[in-house]
Structure formats: structure tokens, C-alpha cells
């Protein structure tokens, strides 16, 4: 793994969960790509049907080809960038802390972390038909820190993760409680 660039893993630290949004949530992006490609094809057939002269004339044909290729390349890049954003939004749960790494567009990135012993309350929710069927949802982590709430968005098996975080937080509190001050 190449997370050493982002998190400085402590010697005793173990990665328990490495979470991303559920794969099902990415399907909506694929659907959007198909719709946008369909719009392009639909427009092509409509123009061919209503204005066939556009495809015979040298100038209009050249302009149409250029516009068509720009459109196709743009939606393809949009899809790939959506994948990169999906792939780089990561939540890492270790036996010591939780790290929230978010890719916000192409040029913005935020990394936040909290110690497990600061966790006060963990809530999980599955909201909606697809979320219930495919078992994905949000996990909200309430802390005593400055950032009041950490949220894992659309992660798989949110209830199981909530239970695991509560257990890990208890263990970490015991560990920090047993540490000499």
C-alpha cells in the first residue's frame, strides 16, 4: 500500500478497515455516461434525419466531426475523473485512529483524522431502497474534537462498521487509560 504518503503509520498501528463508497454507488455514474452517450447518438441520428445536407457539405461535416469528438472525449474524461474521485475517497480505520481522505475535484484534497479514544457516539444508517437492498449507508462518528462529526458516506455494511468502531474505541480508551501520565 502507498498510504505512507498520507498517513504516518505508527509501529503498533494496524489497518482494520480500508473503506470506499460502495461499488453500487458508482453504477449511477456509469448510467449517467450511458445517458450522455445516448444523447450524443440521438442528436446525430436526429440531425442526419432532419438535415442530411449537413453531412454532405464539407464545412458543416468537419465542424460536426470536431464537435462530436470533443463531446465524446469530454464525457469519457468526466467518467474517468468520477472514477478517480470515487477511488480516492478513502476512510481508514486503524486500531488507534480514523483517517478521512477526500478527493474534492481534481485539485483539492483533504485529510482529517481523529483518535479512537475521542469517539463519543457512532451512528449508522441505511437510507433508501437501494441502500437497504445492497446494504450500504452512512456512518456518523461524533467526537469531542473540534470537528464534531466524521461521516463515512455510502460505505458497505455500515452497521457492522459501527459496531467495530465502538469496540475499537473501547479498546483504545482502555489502552490510553492504562498508559502512565
Question: Given the complex with other proteins, which of 12 and 107 has the nearer CB atom?
Answer: 107
Shortest distance (Å) from residue 89 CB to other proteins: 10
Q: How far is the CB of 18 from other proteins (least distance, A)?
A: 8
SS3 content of the chain, % helix, strand, coil (to 5): 55, 25, 20
Q: What does the DSSP assignment read for 106-162?
A: SS-EEEEEEEGGGEEEEEEE--SHHHHHHTEEEEEEEESSSS-EEEEEEEESHHHHH
Calpha distance 2→133 (Å, rounded): 33
Cross-strand partners of 48: none
Supply the angle between the helices 23-50 and 58-88 in degrees, to the nearest 10: 170
User: Which residues of this protein are in contact with other proteins, per CB under 8 A?
Assistant: 1-3, 5-6, 58-59, 61-63, 65-66, 68-70, 72-73, 76-77, 79-81, 83-84, 87-88, 90, 101, 103, 106-107, 109
User: Nearer Cβ to other proteins, position 2 or 11?
Assistant: 2
For the bound state, the minimum distance from the C-beta of residue 91 to other proteins, rounded and expressed in Å, comes to 13
Question: Which set of grid coordinates corresponds to residue 148?
Answer: 464534531
The minimum distance between CB 77 and other proteins, in angstroms, equals 6
Closest to other proteins by CB, 34 vs 63, is 63
Amino acid at each position: 500500500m502507498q498510504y505512507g504518503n498520507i498517513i504516518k503509520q505508527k509501529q503498533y498501528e494496524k489497518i482494520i478497515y480500508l473503506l470506499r463508497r460502495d461499488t453500487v454507488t458508482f453504477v449511477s455514474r456509469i448510467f449517467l455516461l450511458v445517458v450522455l452517450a445516448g444523447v450524443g447518438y440521438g442528436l446525430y441520428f436526429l440531425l442526419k434525419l432532419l438535415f442530411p445536407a449537413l453531412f454532405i457539405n464539407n464545412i458543416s461535416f468537419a465542424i460536426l466531426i470536431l464537435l462530436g469528438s470533443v463531446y465524446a472525449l469530454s464525457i469519457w474524461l468526466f467518467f474517468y475523473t468520477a472514477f478517480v474521485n470515487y477511488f480516492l475517497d478513502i476512510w481508514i480505520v486503524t486500531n488507534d485512529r480514523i483517517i478521512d481522505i477526500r478527493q474534492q475535484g481534481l485539485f483539492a484534497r483533504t485529510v482529517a483524522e481523529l483518535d479512537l479514544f475521542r469517539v463519543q457516539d457512532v451512528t449508522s444508517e441505511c437510507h433508501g431502497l437501494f441502500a437497504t437492498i445492497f446494504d450500504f449507508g452512512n456512518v456518523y462518528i461524533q467526537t469531542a474534537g473540534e470537528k464534531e462529526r466524521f461521516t463515512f458516506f455510502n460505505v458497505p455494511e455500515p452497521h457492522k462498521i459501527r459496531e467495530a468502531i465502538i469496540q475499537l474505541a473501547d479498546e483504545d480508551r482502555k489502552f490510553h487509560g492504562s498508559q502512565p501520565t
